[in-house]
Amino acid sequence: MTFGGGLQDVLEEHWAALAAATADRPDVVRTSRLPVDTDFGRLLAAVDGAGFRHLLVPLQRRQTITGSAVGAALRIFERPLQDDESYGRYADITCSLRELDDVFTGLCGDVLVALEADGARPYRTALAVVDRWRRLFAGGPRTLTREQLLGLHGELTVLSRMLAMDSGATRYWTGPESGRHDFTDGRHAVEVKSTAAVSERRTFQVHGLDQLEEPAEGDLLLCWHRFEEHPDGRSLPELVQQAQDLCDDQEGLLSKLMRTGYRPAANDHQYQRRLILVESRWYRVDASFPRLTPASLVGEVPAGVSDVCYTVDLAGVQAEPLTAGNVDDLLAQVGGRP
């Protein structure tokens, strides 16, 4: 059987074929060989009689594991497999909540990517990937707040603009990893603030003293977006599809999206809210920009003080907003592009 598309598509196609073959045999676990090899054998996709999906990672000869739960829905345990020709032992990674199938696919896709790059110690490598995804399974499905969905609209709008200039720009999107800034290459950074059009004031909240602090020996751009609901606006799935069409790393994009809490397969009416961008302003953040940073304080932050949050009113910005041409020139510098 030949499968096309990325590794996540490969997994989905294997699981779909296995589920169809298992439907009349609820007492068996069916497996198929995935196109990723390691020093200790091929990875396997599997579906059990209850329809749950599994990824089987080959174990080394004397390697043993004890069954363990990872969060509320993810489990890893040892599974021996034997047929007429061979016997093998595997680390079985599975998710017990079908509503998290899309997240599990993202995790398994990351495991395949990691083992395709280095299959010398497959179980150890797989565990490292699982650990990065651990928090997504900690409490089951996650619902994004209206504020988080609005923020995601803003970040995806900027991401698509960057992808139009560099199809690999997804790697600079650090917001999903709780980075200090939403986009950065270590030297150039972009912070995105989005608000709903409920008033004419141009304000936004800043969380932390370092959020509007420039990278060391670098520069920081601030993007402020005002959205409003409108039938001619765009939904989150449409913004996601635009970014997918522009990028060259769709699996990396989907992995980052799922880290924000976005679920591609979720039937959430909030995802269908159509927002239109009614105003956008870009600024270079420098010493004249209204902000709080550790350097602007007299002395150090007092012991016991944390989670500093404050509001910035763009009416207090002395500089004029950047032009569209200026913005594109500065965004083109992210990643060291000329």
Please report the beta strands in 96-218, taking only residues with DSSP state E, as ranges in sequence order: 183-184, 188-196, 203-207
Residue at which a domain ends, from 84, 105, 137 = 137
Of residues 76 and 99, the one with the higher pLDDT is 76
182 with 320, same domain: the answer is yes
- Would you say how long the chain is, in residues? 338
Whether 155 is in a domain gets the answer: yes
User: What is the Cα gyration radius of the chain?
Assistant: 23
193 with 302, same domain: the answer is yes
101 with 172, same domain: the answer is no
128 with 186, same domain: the answer is no
Whether 338 is in a domain gets the answer: no
261 with 323, same domain: the answer is yes
How many domains would you assign to the chain?
2
168 with 111, same domain: the answer is no
168 with 132, same domain: the answer is no
Whether 285 is in a domain gets the answer: yes
This prediction has a pTM of: 0.69
206 with 257, same domain: the answer is yes
pLDDT band at 271 (very low <50, low <70, confident <90, very high): confident
Q: Which residues pair with 58 in a beta bridge?
A: 90
Whether 98 is in a domain gets the answer: yes
Whether 336 is in a domain gets the answer: no
Whether 1 is in a domain gets the answer: no
Residue environment code for 225-256, b if the CB has 16+ CB neighbours within 10 A, otherwise e: bbbeeeeebbebeebbebbbebbebbbbbbbb
* Average of per-residue pLDDT across 206-210: 91
Measured between alpha carbons, how far apart are the two ends of the chain, in Å?
A: 45
Evaluate if residue 317 carries a pLDDT over 80: yes
Whether 77 is in a domain gets the answer: yes
Give the whole-angstrom CA distance, residue 86 versus residue 266: 40
* Least confident interval from 116-130, 181-195, 241-255: 241-255
Residue at which a domain ends, from 113, 137, 161 = 137
DSSP one-letter code for 265? T
Evaluate if residue 65 carries a pLDDT over 70: yes
Give the whole-angstrom CA distance, residue 204 versus residue 257: 23
* Average of per-residue pLDDT across 42-56: 94
193 with 293, same domain: the answer is yes
Give the whole-angstrom CA distance, residue 107 versus residue 136: 10
Give the whole-angstrom CA distance, residue 120 versus residue 151: 40
198 with 286, same domain: the answer is yes
> Taking all residues of the chain, what is their mean pLDDT, rounded to a whole number?
88
Q: Which residues pair with 183 in a beta bridge?
A: 173, 190
Give the whole-angstrom CA distance, residue 208 versus residue 305: 11
DSSP one-letter code for 23? T
Give the whole-angstrom CA distance, residue 28 versus residue 116: 28
Contacts of 275 by beta carbon, 8 Å cutoff, 6+ apart = 150, 153, 227, 228, 229, 230, 233, 234, 235
Do the Cβ atoms of 46 and 52 come closer than 8 Å?
Answer: no
Evaluate if residue 139 carries a pLDDT over 60: no
pLDDT of residue 136: 66
256 with 107, same domain: the answer is no
Q: How many whole angstroms from its chain centre is CA 271?
A: 16
* Average of per-residue pLDDT across 142-151: 86
Whether 88 is in a domain gets the answer: yes
pLDDT band at 2 (very low <50, low <70, confident <90, very high): very low
22 with 150, same domain: the answer is no
* Average of per-residue pLDDT across 283-301: 87
Dihedrals phi, psi of 112, to nearest 5 degrees:
-65, -40
**Which domain, by its residues, includes 171?**
146-331
pLDDT band at 113 (very low <50, low <70, confident <90, very high): very high
Residue at which a domain ends, from 105, 137, 169 = 137
* Average of per-residue pLDDT across 40-68: 89
